[in-house]
Structure 1
Amino acid sequence: MKKHRLTLCAVLVAASLGAVSCSRTSEQQQGSEAVAAEQNLARLFENYYEERLKLFPLEATAIADNRYNDQLPNDLSQQHQEQVRQLYQRYLGKIKAIDRSQLNEQEQVSYDIFKYEMEVSLEGLEQPASLLPINQFWSLPITMAQLGSGSSNQPFKTPEDYQDFLGRIKGFTVWGDTAIANMRKGIRMGVVLPRTLTQKVLPQLQAMVVDEPTKTIFWAPVENLPDNFTASQKDSIRRAYTKAIQEEVIPTYKKLYDFMQQEYLPKSRATTGISGIKGGDEYYRFLVRYWTTTDMTPDQIFEIGQQEVARIRGEMEQVKEQVGFKGDLAAFFKYVNDNPKFTPFNSPEEVLGAYDAIAQRMEPQLGKLFGITPKSKFEVRQTEAFRAASASAEYNPPAPDGSRPGIFYVPILDAGKYNMVGMESLFLHEAIPGHHYQISIQQEQEGLPRFRQYAWYGAFGEGWALYAESLGKELGLYTDPYQYFGRLSDEMHRAIRLVVDVGMHAKGWTREQAIQYSLDNELTSREAAVAEIERYMALPGQALSYKIGELKIKELRQRAEQQLGDRFSISAFHDVILKGGVMPLAVLEKKVDEWIAEQKNS
C-alpha cells in the first residue's frame, strides 16, 4: 500500500470520523508518513475486518457478504490458529502505535474496544478450547446442519450458491478429522468433556447418519430448488449433492459419532466443572473475564448471585400472595408448571401467534422509550426439529442488506405442553426491544467501523436483553400477575446462573447439586433444568454475562436518573446505550458518564 503525506487533520477528515478544525500550524502536523497513515483509524479498522473475514468466512456469510461462501477453513488446525494469532498481534501493534490523546471521543471509544479485543483474543488463543471442539450446544457439526438446511445464513438462490456449499462440505470433512485428532490429544492431556455431555452429543451426530441422502437435512435445499433453474442445472445439482452427502457429509458425521461413542465416551470425565481438566481453574478465570468483560472474581460473582436470588424470591412471594395461592413457593412453581390453564395451545402456529400478539400489544408504547428503532424486518419461527430437543429460544440477527430478517426461534417440542407463563418476558429478551433492537440498531449505525457493527460482547448484548425484560410494565405488558411471575422467574433464572456456574466450575458443585438448586429456586421442569445446567457445563462462564451486564445497565440508568432529575429522558438514555453497539462494560460506563455530564451542561 502506498503511503501518502497527510496531516492528522486531513486523515481524520478523509476517515469521516468527526468534525475537526483544519487550521493547523506546521508544528502540529505529523512529521512522519508512517505515523500519519496509522492515524487513519478508519482504514486500520477496515483493513483488519477485511483480513478477519478471510480467516472467519462464516462471519462473512452471517452478514450477507457472500465472497467466501465456499470456504470453511480448518479453524482447529495449528496453521489457522497461528494465522489468527499473527493477525491479532499485528493489529495490536498498530493500535498501540496511535496516540489516543489526539483522537476525538468516538474514535477513542473505538480505540479502547479494538485494543481490548486484540488483547483478549490473543489470551483466548492460549486456552485449550481447540481440544474441546464439540459440545451439544455450540459446535460446527450443529452449525453445518443449520447452514445445509437452507433455513439459516447460507444462501441457496443461484446455481453458484449451491456450488459454494459443496466447498464448505469439503472443508467440513477436513475439520472432522482434525477434531478427532484434537480430542485424542485432549484425552492424553486430560482435557475432555464430562460424560453426561458426550452422551448428549451422540444422538445429535447419529441423527445425521442416514442410509439415503434424501433423508438428511442437507437435502432440503435440493428439495426446494428455485423454479428459475434450468432442468440441466437442477439435474447437475441433484447429482452433485447426492455424491457429496453420500461420500462426505454422512461419512464425516459417522466418523465423529463412532469416535465419540467408542473412544471418547469411555475416556470422558466424571467431574462436572471445567476445574476437572488440566489447567481448568486458570481457564475458568479467563472465561469469567471474557464473558463478563470485567475483572470480577468467581467468588464476587457467586456472592452477587446469592444476593439476587434472595431478593427475587422475596418478589415471587409477593406475587404468590397477590393471586391468593395457599402453599409455599415450591408448590406455587408446581402449580404454574402443571395447571392445564397455562398450556392452552394446540399447535405450533398458535404458540407463534401468541408471540405476534405480544408484539402488537406493546407496539404503541415503544416510541415513548426509544428514539431510534431498527429498520430490519423481524419474524418469529419454530426451531428446526433436528435441534429443537437441546435448543433454547434464541435470536438470529438479520442480514445487513435486508435479504434476511431478524429471527426469533422458538423450540416447540409439543405445543400442548408449551407453558404460556413467561412468554412476555421471553419475547422482550429475544426479540423486541431485546436482541432485535440492540443488534439491528448496531448493524444499521452509520459511521461505526465494521468491527463494531458486527461485534458481540455477551455482557453488553445479553445484559441489554435481560434489562429489556424489566421494561415490560413500561411497555404495557405484565398486566397479568402470572406473566409478571414469569418475568421474575426469568430474572431468577439468570441470577441462579451466577451461583451454579461458579459453583460447578470453581467450587466443586456436582451436576446434581446445580440441578437441585435450580429446581428449588425457579419456575422450571426437571427436564429444562437438566438441559440448562448441561449448557453451563458445556459453555463455562457464558451464563454469567446476562446478569452482570443487566446489573451494570440498571446501575447506569439509576445514576443518570439521580443526577439529571427532570432532565432525564428514558428514550435518550436508551439511544445512547444502543447507538454505539456492544462494548466492554467499563467502556460503556465511561460513555454514559460522559453523556450525563453533557446533559448537565446542555
Structure 2
Amino acid sequence: MRRFSLLRWVLALLVTYPFAPALAQKTKPIAKTTAAAAVPPAASAPLGALFAAYWDEQAKLFPLAATTQGDNRYNDQLPNDQTQAFRSQVQSFYQKYQAQLRKNDRKALSVNDQISYDILDYDLSTKLADLQQPTWMLPFTQFASFPNSMGQLGAGTGNQPFKTVQDYDNWLGRVGGFPVWADSAIGNFRRGMRAGVVLPKALVGKMIPQLESFVVTDPAKSLFYGPLTKFPATFTDADRSRLTAAYQKAISTQLVPAYARLAQFLKTEYLPQARASSGIGAVPGGPAMYAQAIRFWTTTALTPAQLSQTGLAEVKRLRAEMEKIKTQVGFQGDLPAFFTFLNTDPRFTPYKTEAEVLAGFAAIQARMAPNLPKLFGRVPRTGFEVRATEAFRAASAAPQYSRGTADGSRPGIFYVPILDATKFNTVTNSAMETLFLHEAIPGHHYQVSLQQENTALPKFRRFGSYSAFNEGWGLYTESLGRELGLYTDPYQQMSALILDIHRAIRLVTDVGLHTGTMTREEAIRYMLANEATSEQFATSEIERYMSLPGQALAYKVGQLKIRELRARYEKQLGPKFDLRAFHDEILAGGTMPLAVLERRMDAWAVRQR
C-alpha cells in the first residue's frame, strides 16, 4: 500500500533506494545516436507556469524526493510526515493545484498539453484518494522502510551528497529530524494497534533485526560514520575535526537512541499484537485500502478477480513454454524436477568471486551493444554502472535499478545482491541476461534516463513515476533478448520464462494474500510449485507483497499493455510498422498512466499511416 510519507515519495520516484557500495563495475556514458522520435514541445506559457509552481512547491514538501532528483536546496530538511498536520498540509496542496489545473479548458489545449493535463490531474486525484486511507497507521515495513533508507542516504555514497562542508552540515540537519520522526512513527503504530490496523507478525519479525543493526556502541562502527572516512581532500583540518565530533555526537545521541527505541517498541509492544493474517484485507477498512492500492499501482480499474484470472492464464501459458525448453534440452523428468536441476547443477553457478559476477554483467552489455541501434534511435547520455548491493541489505534485496541525475553528476546504477558468488545462479533467481535487460539496458536505464534528460517535459513528467509504465516497460524489454543478440542458449531462454512466470505468479499471490484466499504459507507453496526458485527467495518475495499490497501487480499489467499495443500497430501498419520508432515514441513522453499511454500511442499510429 502507499504511505503518505517521505518514503512514499522515494518509492514513487525510484525503483529502489539509491545507495552505492564501494565495489563497482563502471562504464562510460552511453553514446547518443540519431533521434527517431520527436521530442514533445514545451508546455504553453500559462500551463508551464502552473506546472513549474507545482513542482517547486512539492520539492519543499518532500525534500527527500528533491534530493533524489538532484535538487539540493533542501538537503538539510527532514519534515515529520507522520503527523496529521503534515497530511492536512499535503491535502490542501493537492486540492489547490487540482483546482487551478481544472480552470483550464482541456479541449483548447495542444495535444502535448492535454497529455500533461491528464497526467497531472490523474496524479492529484490518486494522491487525494490515497489520503483517505488509514495507511499512516503502518509507517514502515521490512521492505518499505524509511529507517533503512536513512542508512542508505547517510552512508556517504548514495543520493545525499557529501562533497562540500555544507553538504556535511546539511546531513546533520537532516539527522536532527529523525528522532522526532521515529517517535511519531511509534505513535502511529500505537494508533494502529488500537484500531486493529497492524502488520503481520511475519513482517515485524524481520523489521526488528534491521533496526537493531543500526544500534552500535562505537560510532565508528556505524553505517553513518561512512562520510567521515571519505573527507574530500579540500577540507581543512579544522573542518574535519569539527565534523568528526559532530557526527560522533549525532550518531551516539540522536540516531542510535532513535533506532533503539524503534526496535524495542516493535519487540516488546507491537510484535505481541501483530496479526496472524497475511493480507491487508483482514484489517478494518482493508478491502478499500487494497482497491485503492490496485488503482494506484496499476493505473487501471481492474478488479482483483480480473487480475487473478489474468495471472492464472499467464502461468498456464508460460508453463507450456517451459515444457518446450525442457524437451529441447533433453531433460528426462517433470517440470519440478527440471526446476531442481536448474537450481543445483554446477554449470549454472560458474563464479567464485563478486568481481567475476560483475564482469559477467559487463560481458552481457558488450554482447548486446552492437544491436541496440536496431531497436532504439534515442539513447541516454546519463552514465551507467553495475554495482554489488551493499552488505547490510543484500540478504533481503532484489536486483534493482537506481536512477541517475539528469545533469550526469550521478550515474544510473544496477544493483545486484551477491551474498555468495559461488551460489550465484545465472539462470534461476539471478537470470543474468534477463535481469540486465529489465533493470539496466534497455529497461529502466533507458526509460528513466531519457525521461529525465528531456527538458521539454514539465518537471513533474521528467521526474515522475508510474510503476505500471516503468515496470511494464522493464518486463517488456526482457522479451527483446533475441533481437539484441542474447538468449542464444536455451537455458537463458528458460531464465526469461522463469522471470516472466514470476510476474504472473505475483498477480495470483498478491490478490490471494490481500483478499484472504491465500495465506503466506499457501502463497509460498504456489510460487515454489510454479517456478525454479528457492524457499528462501519465495519467502522473501511473498513477504514483500504482504508489506506493499498491489505493487507487485504493476509489472505484468504494464507488460501486457505494451505487448498489446505493439501487436495492434504491427497489424494496423503492416510494412509501415517501425519497431525502433515504436520504442522511441513510448519513451519520448516519459512515464504516464496506461490509459494516457494508449491514447498517445494510438495517435502516433495514425500519424504513421
TM range (shorter): over 0.9
Instruction: Kindly state the Cα deviation for residue 340 of structure 1 after the two structures are TM-superposed.
Output: 1.2
Aligned-pair Cα RMSD in Å: 1.0
Q: Residues 50-104 of structure 1, C-alpha deviation per residue, up to 9 Å, x if partnerless?
A: 0000000011101111100000111111111111101100011011110001101
After TM superposition, list the pairs within 5 Å mapping 1:43-442 onto structure 2: 43-421=49-427, 422-442=431-451
Q: Which residue of 1 aligns with 2:565?
A: 556
Q: Which residue of 2 aligns with 1:582?
A: 591
Instruction: Kindly state the Cα deviation for residue 493 of structure 1 after the two structures are TM-superposed.
Output: 0.3
Q: 2: CA distance between counterparts of 1:16 and 1:400?
A: 18
1:487 aligns with 2:496: yes
Q: 1: CA distance between counterparts of 2:350 and 2:303?
A: 44
Q: 2: CA distance between counterparts of 1:495 and 1:63?
A: 32
Q: 1: CA distance between counterparts of 2:331 and 2:113?
A: 56
Q: Name the amino acid aligned to 1:190.
A: G
Check the 8 A contact 2:437/2:481 in 1, yes or no.
Answer: yes
Check the 8 A contact 2:297/2:554 in 1, yes or no.
Answer: yes
After TM superposition, list the pairs within 5 Å mapping 1:528-543 onto structure 2: 528-543=537-552
Check the 8 A contact 1:467/1:553 in 2, yes or no.
Answer: yes
Q: Name the amino acid aligned to 1:516.
A: R
Q: Residues 277-307 of structure 1, C-alpha deviation per residue, up to 9 Å, x if partnerless?
A: 1100111011011100000000000000000
Instruction: Kindly state the Cα deviation for residue 223 of structure 1 after the two structures are TM-superposed.
Output: 1.2
Check the 8 A contact 2:41/2:112 in 1, yes or no.
Answer: no
Q: 1:470 aligns to what SS in structure 2?
A: helix
Q: 1: CA distance between counterparts of 2:177 and 2:355?
A: 37
Instruction: Kindly state the Cα deviation for residue 457 of structure 1 after the two structures are TM-superposed.
Output: 0.3
Check the 8 A contact 1:319/1:481 in 2, yes or no.
Answer: yes
Q: 1:325 aligns to what SS in structure 2?
A: coil
Q: 2: CA distance between counterparts of 1:193 and 1:508?
A: 18
Higher mean C-alpha deviation, range 293-302 or range 224-233: 224-233
Q: 1:307 aligns to what SS in structure 2?
A: helix
Q: 2: CA distance between counterparts of 1:560 and 1:18?
A: 28
Q: Which residue of 1 aligns with 2:507?
A: 498
Q: 2: CA distance between counterparts of 1:220 and 1:17?
A: 42
Q: Which residue of 1 aligns with 2:23?
A: none
Instruction: Kindly state the Cα deviation for residue 206 of structure 1 after the two structures are TM-superposed.
Output: 0.6
Check the 8 A contact 2:475/2:555 in 1, yes or no.
Answer: yes
Q: 1: CA distance between counterparts of 2:80 and 2:516?
A: 35
Instruction: Kindly state the Cα deviation for residue 446 of structure 1 after the two structures are TM-superposed.
Output: 2.6
> What is the TM-score normalised by the length of structure 2?
0.92
Q: Residues 300-338 of structure 1, C-alpha deviation per residue, up to 9 Å, x if partnerless?
A: 000000000000000000000010000000000000001
Q: Name the amino acid aligned to 1:480.
A: D
Instruction: Kindly state the Cα deviation for residue 557 of structure 1 after the two structures are TM-superposed.
Output: 0.3
Instruction: Kindly state the Cα deviation for residue 227 of structure 1 after the two structures are TM-superposed.
Output: 1.5
> What is the TM-score normalised by the length of structure 1?
0.93
Q: 1:412 aligns to what SS in structure 2?
A: coil
Q: Residues 453-502 of structure 1, C-alpha deviation per residue, up to 9 Å, x if partnerless?
A: 00000000000000000000010000011011000000000000000000
Q: 2:198 aligns to what SS in structure 1?
A: coil
Q: Which residue of 1 aligns with 2:526?
A: 517
Question: What are the ranges of 5 or more consecutive residues in structure 1 without an aligned counterpart?
Answer: 1-14, 20-38
Structure 2 counterpart of 1:476, from 485, 492, 513: 485
Amino-acid identity (%): 54
Check the 8 A contact 1:396/1:407 in 2, yes or no.
Answer: yes
Q: Residues 254-284 of structure 1, C-alpha deviation per residue, up to 9 Å, x if partnerless?
A: 0000000000000100000001111001110
Q: 1: CA distance between counterparts of 2:227 and 2:301?
A: 46
Instruction: Kindly state the Cα deviation for residue 389 of structure 1 after the two structures are TM-superposed.
Output: 0.9
Instruction: Kindly state the Cα deviation for residue 128 of structure 1 after the two structures are TM-superposed.
Output: 1.6
Q: Name the amino acid aligned to 2:460.
A: F
Instruction: Kindly state the Cα deviation for residue 411 of structure 1 after the two structures are TM-superposed.
Output: 0.7
Check the 8 A contact 1:442/1:580 in 2, yes or no.
Answer: yes
Check the 8 A contact 1:312/1:488 in 2, yes or no.
Answer: yes
Q: 2: CA distance between counterparts of 1:108 and 1:357?
A: 43
Q: 2: CA distance between counterparts of 1:369 and 1:200?
A: 43
Q: 1:381 aligns to what SS in structure 2?
A: strand
Residues paired across the two proteins, number: 567
Q: 2: CA distance between counterparts of 1:298 and 1:210?
A: 45
Check the 8 A contact 1:273/1:508 in 2, yes or no.
Answer: no
1:466 aligns with 2:446: no
Instruction: Kindly state the Cα deviation for residue 361 of structure 1 after the two structures are TM-superposed.
Output: 0.3
Q: 1: CA distance between counterparts of 2:157 and 2:320?
A: 43
Instruction: Kindly state the Cα deviation for residue 507 of structure 1 after the two structures are TM-superposed.
Output: 3.7
Q: Which residue of 1 aligns with 2:605?
A: 596
Q: 1: CA distance between counterparts of 2:594 and 2:509?
A: 23
Q: Residues 167-196 of structure 1, C-alpha deviation per residue, up to 9 Å, x if partnerless?
A: 111111110010000000000000111000
Instruction: Kindly state the Cα deviation for residue 378 of structure 1 after the two structures are TM-superposed.
Output: 0.2
Q: Which residue of 2 aligns with 1:571?
A: 580
Higher mean C-alpha deviation, range 578-587 or range 506-515: 506-515
1:457 aligns with 2:473: no
Q: Which residue of 1 aligns with 2:15?
A: none
Check the 8 A contact 1:347/1:415 in 2, yes or no.
Answer: yes
Instruction: Kindly state the Cα deviation for residue 16 of structure 1 after the two structures are TM-superposed.
Output: 6.7
Q: Name the amino acid aligned to 1:544.
A: L
Check the 8 A contact 2:41/2:457 in 1, yes or no.
Answer: no
Check the 8 A contact 1:149/1:217 in 2, yes or no.
Answer: yes
Check the 8 A contact 1:45/1:449 in 2, yes or no.
Answer: yes
Check the 8 A contact 2:43/2:457 in 1, yes or no.
Answer: no
Q: Which residue of 1 aligns with 2:46?
A: 40
Q: Residues 539-560 of structure 1, C-alpha deviation per residue, up to 9 Å, x if partnerless?
A: 0000000000000000000011
Q: 1: CA distance between counterparts of 2:418 and 2:350?
A: 14
Q: Name the amino acid aligned to 2:485.
A: G
Q: Which residue of 2 aligns with 1:547?
A: 556
Instruction: Kindly state the Cα deviation for residue 506 of structure 1 after the two structures are TM-superposed.
Output: 1.0
Check the 8 A contact 2:339/2:532 in 1, yes or no.
Answer: yes
